[in-house]
Structure 1
Amino acid sequence: MDETIDVVVVRVFTNESGRNGNELGIVQSSEATAAREQEIATALGFSETVFVDAVDEPGRAASIRIFTPAKELPFAGHPSVGTAWWLADRRTPVDVLREPAGDVEVEVDLDDDLAWITARPEWTPEFEWLALESPEDVEALDPFAFTTGQTFAYAWIDEAAGSIRARMFAPAMGIVEDEATGAAAVALTARLGRALSILQGEGSDIATEPVGDGRVRVGGTTVYDRTIEATL
Structure 2
Amino acid sequence: MAVDVTVLRVFADAHGEFGNPLGVIDAATVEPSDRQRIAAELGYSETVFVDLPEPGAASAHVRIFTPVTEIAFAGHPTVGTAWWLKQRGTPVRTLQVPAGLVQVSYLSEAEGELTAISARSDWAPELVIHDLKSPDEVLAADPAEYADDAEHYLWAWIDRDRGALRSRTFAPQFGIIEDEATGSAAVRMTDHLSRDLHITQGKGSEIRTWWDPTGWVKVGGRVVENAGVRLG
For this structure pair, what is the TM-score category when the shorter chain's length is used for normalisation?
Answer: over 0.9
The separation in 1 between residues aligned to 2:44 and 2:107, in whole angstroms, is: 25
CA contact (8 A) 1:24 1:48 kept: yes
The separation in 1 between residues aligned to 2:76 and 2:62, in whole angstroms, is: 13
Q: Which residue of 2 aligns with 1:59?
A: 57
Which stretch of structure 1 is more off in the superposition, 76-85 or 103-112?
Answer: 103-112
SS in 2 for 1:36: helix
CA contact (8 A) 1:113 1:223 kept: no
Which stretch of structure 1 is more off in the superposition, 49-58 or 32-41?
Answer: 49-58
The answer to whether structure 1 residue 153 and structure 2 residue 154 are counterparts is: yes
Q: Which residue of 1 aligns with 2:15?
A: 17
CA positional deviation for 1:108: 1.9
The separation in 2 between residues aligned to 1:183 and 1:46, in whole angstroms, is: 16
The separation in 2 between residues aligned to 1:157 and 1:125, in whole angstroms, is: 25
CA positional deviation for 1:56: 6.6
Unaligned 5+ runs, structure 1: none
Percent of aligned positions with the same letter in both sequences? 45
The separation in 2 between residues aligned to 1:65 and 1:89, in whole angstroms, is: 19
Which stretch of structure 1 is more off in the superposition, 131-140 or 33-42?
Answer: 33-42
**Gap change, CA 1:207 and 1:32, over 3 Å in 2:** closer
Which stretch of structure 1 is more off in the superposition, 123-132 or 203-212?
Answer: 203-212
The answer to whether structure 1 residue 78 and structure 2 residue 76 are counterparts is: yes
Number of equivalent positions: 229
Q: Which residue of 2 aligns with 1:32?
A: 30
**Deviation sequence 1:148-199 (CA, Å, 0-9, x none):** 3100000001111111000000000000000000000001100100000000
SS in 1 for 2:41: helix
SS in 2 for 1:119: strand
Listed as ranges, the matches of 1:128-207 within 5 Å are 128-146=128-146, 147-207=148-208
User: What is the aligned-residue RMSD (CA, Å)?
Assistant: 1.5
In structure 2, what residue type is equivalent to 1:75? Answer: F
In structure 1, what residue type is equivalent to 2:15? Answer: S
In structure 2, what residue type is equivalent to 1:214? Answer: G
Q: Which residue of 1 aligns with 2:2?
A: 4
**Gap change, CA 1:145 and 1:138, over 3 Å in 2:** same
SS in 2 for 1:156: strand
**Deviation sequence 1:71-96 (CA, Å, 0-9, x none):** 11100000000000000011011000
CA contact (8 A) 2:3 2:29 kept: no
The separation in 2 between residues aligned to 1:169 and 1:71, in whole angstroms, is: 16
The separation in 1 between residues aligned to 2:4 and 2:55, in whole angstroms, is: 24
The separation in 2 between residues aligned to 1:219 and 1:202, in whole angstroms, is: 18
Q: Which residue of 2 aligns with 1:97?
A: 95
The separation in 1 between residues aligned to 2:102 and 2:184, in whole angstroms, is: 12
Which stretch of structure 1 is more off in the superposition, 20-29 or 139-148?
Answer: 139-148
TM-score by length of 1: 0.95
In structure 1, what residue type is equivalent to 2:135? Answer: P
Q: Which residue of 2 aligns with 1:121?
A: 121
In structure 1, what residue type is equivalent to 2:44? Answer: F
CA positional deviation for 1:143: 1.8
